[in-house]
C-alpha cells in the first residue's frame, strides 16, 4: 500500500531564510506523482508543485523547489526566501497507478515564518 | 468566481440529522472527489467519481453517501450525522485527459460541526 510520511509537525523559519519540509513515501508502483499543497489558516488547499517519478530534473515553481531523491523515496519541499505569507500547513501527497487517480496525503507540517 | 464551489461553507447541526454538502465545478473536469480533514490526520478520501455514472468508495466511506447528478455536480450526504463526523470537508476535481501530472483542484471546504 502507498504511504506518505511527514515527520515534522511544526517548523519555524525566519523571514528571508530558506526552509526544507520533509516528505518520504512508500510505494511499489514504478510510476507515481508527488504533489505539495499549502493550506493557509483560511482553510483552502492550494497546489504548489508536482514531481513525476520519471522526471529527470527536480521540479521548481518560483520560490518552491522539490528535492527529489528517488532512491531514498523522499520528496522534500524547499521554500527559498521565506515570507510571512508562507505561514501555513503544508501537505505532501502521492498519486500512483496503484491508487489510480486518488491522492494519499501525509499528516502535514505547520510552518511558521517569523520576522 | 471560484472554479470549485462548496456549499454551505459552515454548518452546525444536531446528531441524527440528515445533511447534504454540495459541490459544483466550472472547470469541466470529469473526476470529482470528497475528502475529510481531521486535525493531525491530513486528508482522507471518502468517495470519488470518474464520470456521471461512476461512484467509488474511498478510504472512509462508512456513514456517507454521494450522488453525481451531472458532470459538474457531486454531493455528499450524511444520512444520520454523528459527532465524530465533525470535520472539514473538501471537494476536489481533476482532469484525466491532461495526464497524471495534473493536480487535483480543491474547493474552499465546508466546516461541519455535529453537536
Residue B58 burial (CB count, 10 A): 17
SS3 call for B16 = coil
Write b or e for each residue in A21-58: b if 16 or more Cβ atoms lie within 10 A of its Cβ, otherwise e. bbbbbebeeeebbbbbbbbeeebebebbbbbbbeeeee
Distance from CA of A114 to the nearest CA of B (A): 23
Instruction: Compute the average pLDDT of residues A4-8.
Output: 96
Burial tier of B97 (Cβ tally within 10 Å: 0-12, 13-18, 19+): exposed
- Residues B67, B63: Cα–Cα separation, whole Å: 14
Residue B89 burial (CB count, 10 A): 23
Q: How many CB pairs under 8 A join A and B?
A: 55
- pLDDT > 80? residue A98: no
- Predicted pLDDT at A34: 94
Q: B85 versus A97: which is more confidently predicted?
A: B85
Nearest to A18 by CA among A115, A113, A106, A110: A113
Interface contact flag, A44 B106, Cβ < 8 Å: yes
- Predicted pLDDT at B39: 83
Scanning every residue of chain B, which has its alpha carbon at the shortest distance from the alpha carbon of A100? B100
SS3 call for B61 = coil
- Residues A55, B101: Cα–Cα separation, whole Å: 11
Confidence tier at A100 by pLDDT (50, 70, 90): low
Q: Are A23 and A75 in contact (CB under 8 A)?
A: yes
- pLDDT > 90? residue B75: yes
Q: Which cell goes with B6?
A: 462548496
Distance from CA of B101 to the nearest CA of A (A): 7
- Predicted pLDDT at A97: 63
pLDDT digits (tens, 9 = 90+) for A24-65: 999 988 888 999 999 999 999 999 999 999 998 999 999 999
SS3 call for A85 = helix
- Predicted pLDDT at A30: 85
For β-strands B87-94 and B73-78, DSSP reports them as unpaired
Amino acid at each position: 500500500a502507498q504511504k506518505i510520511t511527514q515527520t515534522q509537525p511544526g517548523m519555524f523559519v525566519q523571514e528571508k531564510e530558506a526552509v526544507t519540509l520533509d516528505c518520504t513515501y512508500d510505494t511499489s508502483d514504478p510510476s507515481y506523482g508527488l504533489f505539495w499543497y499549502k493550506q493557509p489558516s483560511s482553510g483552502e488547499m492550494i497546489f504548489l508543485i508536482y514531481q513525476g517519478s520519471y522526471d529527470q530534473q527536480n521540479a521548481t515553481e518560483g520560490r518552491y523547489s522539490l528535492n527529489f531523491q528517488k532512491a531514498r523515496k523522499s520528496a522534500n519541499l524547499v521554500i527559498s526566501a521565506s515570507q510571512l505569507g508562507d505561514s501555513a500547513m503544508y501537505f505532501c501527497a502521492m498519486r500512483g497507478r496503484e491508487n489510480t487517480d486518488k491522492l494519499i496525503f501525509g499528516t502535514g507540517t505547520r510552518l511558521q515564518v517569523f520576522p | 468566481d471560484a472554479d470549485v464551489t462548496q456549499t454551505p461553507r459552515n454548518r452546525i447541526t444536531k446528531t441524527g440529522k440528515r445533511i447534504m454538502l454540495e459541490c459544483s465545478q466550472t472547470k469541466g473536469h470529469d473526476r470529482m472527489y470528497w475528502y475529510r480533514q481531521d486535525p493531525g490526520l491530513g486528508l482522507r478520501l471518502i468517495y470519488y467519481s470518474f464520470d456521471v455514472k461512476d461512484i467509488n468508495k474511498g478510504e472512509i466511506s462508512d456513514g456517507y453517501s454521494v450522488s453525481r447528478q451531472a458532470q459538474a455536480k457531486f454531493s455528499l450526504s450524511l444520512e444520520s450525522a454523528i459527532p465524530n463526523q465533525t470535520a472539514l470537508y473538501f471537494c476536489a476535481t481533476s482532469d484525466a485527459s491532461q495526464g497524471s501530472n495534473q493536480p487535483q483542484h480543491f474547493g474552499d471546504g465546508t466546516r461541519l460541526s455535529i453537536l
